[in-house]
Amino acid sequence: MANLPFDDRDGSIWLDGRMVPWRDAQIHVLTHGLHYGSCVFEGERVYNGQVFKLTEHSERLVYSARVLGFDLPITAAEIDEATRQVIAANNIVDGYVRPVAWRGSEMMGVSAQHNTIRMAIATWEWPSYFDPAARMKGIKLQTSQWARPSPATAPVHAKAAGLYMICTMSKHAAEGAGFHDALMYDYRGRIAESTGANIFFVIDGEIHTPEPDCFLDGITRRTVIGLAREAGMTVIERPMWPDDLEKATEVFITGTAAEVTPVGLIDSRTYTPGKITETLIDAYTRAVNAPSATASATSAAE
């Protein structure tokens, strides 16, 4: 399944309120979301047939759309239910979910007040984001030439498609140089995140992570912070600078796809995944597989 192109698969996709055959879920080439980036989305993981933090993801999709100036045609609760229907229709036990919403094709130009808001939800089987063997050794990150933008220049707290253009460029450059992913700084030169995940550093036995003032405060990020504090660990959210890379002994990233993934190399700096990282990998694995642990992690993170 993993090697099949995404436009040519069996199954069903929820599109504009109804389930349609996978190959029939099409849009026009003059769709505004394609040309002008008026598109928002989510990435969600299915564990044992259930989406982890489903409502938080649905609510963030609604929020992201409003930041871009449009309202979704259904509520967060209705998105939750549609997501469950898609998972059941495709018999997904462990997989990935992609809800996406965009402006349609009635108007073509920067202005698009009268465009229909389109929405789709797809799901498919998806194993660990990074190769398991590489994951336990620690993945390799290369510093990107691209920086996360200022909140004055982009809707940085929305999960908007256009914000990921520099992520794709950064990840392609990193992979071309033999790395797994890229580390991105922000417009001030502070450490920000990787291309699709938040980043954490263990310094003097404490966990430090950049404050998310110009990038997403990830749902997995908040969950892991809650799990760490439940375990008695100190978590410090603060501005982080390049010289912090020299102080860290462990580094890991967190995200819906990446889960908790150790980092073994940033450019030429090496790190060894240690007890704090291992403890949080185990804690997160328990959280996503246990409803009671999930509820506890949610309350602790928020």
Span 206-233, pLDDT tens digits: 999 999 999 999 999 999 999 999 999 9
CATH fold of the domain at 12-125? D-amino Acid Aminotransferase; Chain A, domain 1 (3.30.470)
Mean pLDDT within 228-251? 98
Using 50, 70 and 90 to split pLDDT, how confident is the model at 301? very low
- Give domain limits for the chain: 12-125, 132-301
State pTM to two decimals.
Answer: 0.92
d(CA 244, CA 247): 5
What is the predicted pLDDT for the residue at 135? 66
Contact status, residue 144 vs residue 170, Cβ threshold 8 Å: yes
Using 50, 70 and 90 to split pLDDT, how confident is the model at 132? low
What is the predicted pLDDT for the residue at 290? 77
Contact status, residue 281 vs residue 220, Cβ threshold 8 Å: no
What is the predicted pLDDT for the residue at 129? 57
d(CA 213, CA 298): 21
Q: Cα–Cα distances in Å, from 3 out to 9, 38, 125, 177? A: 10, 29, 11, 23
What is the predicted pLDDT for the residue at 137? 85
Instruction: Tell me, rounded to whole angstroms, the distance of Cα 41 from its chain centroid.
Output: 10
Mean pLDDT within 82-96? 97
Do 12-125 and 132-301 show the same overall fold? no
What is the predicted pLDDT for the residue at 190? 98
The identity of residue 212, as a single letter, is: P
Comparing CA positions, the residue from 113, 107, 109 lying closest to residue 69 is 113
Comparing CA positions, the residue from 227, 158, 143, 262 lying closest to residue 192 is 143
CATH 2.40.50.220 corresponds to the domain 132-301: no
Structure tokens at 105: 């094709």
What is the dihedral angle through the alpha carbons of 268, 190, 245, 44, rounded to the nearest 10 degrees? -90
What is the predicted pLDDT for the residue at 234? 98
Angle between helices 275-289 and 291-301 (to 10 degrees): 120
What lies within 8 Å, CB to CB, of 178 at 6+ separation is 140
Say yes or no to pLDDT of 298 above 90: no
Lowest-confidence region among 40-49, 132-141, 164-173, 290-299: 290-299
* Apex 193 CA angle, 192 and 195, nearest 5: 130
Which H/E stretch holds residue 236?
strand 235-238
What is the set of active-site residues?
Answer: 159
Say yes or no to pLDDT of 292 above 60: no
DSSP 160: B
Mean pLDDT within 24-40? 96
In the chain, % of residues over pLDDT 70: 93
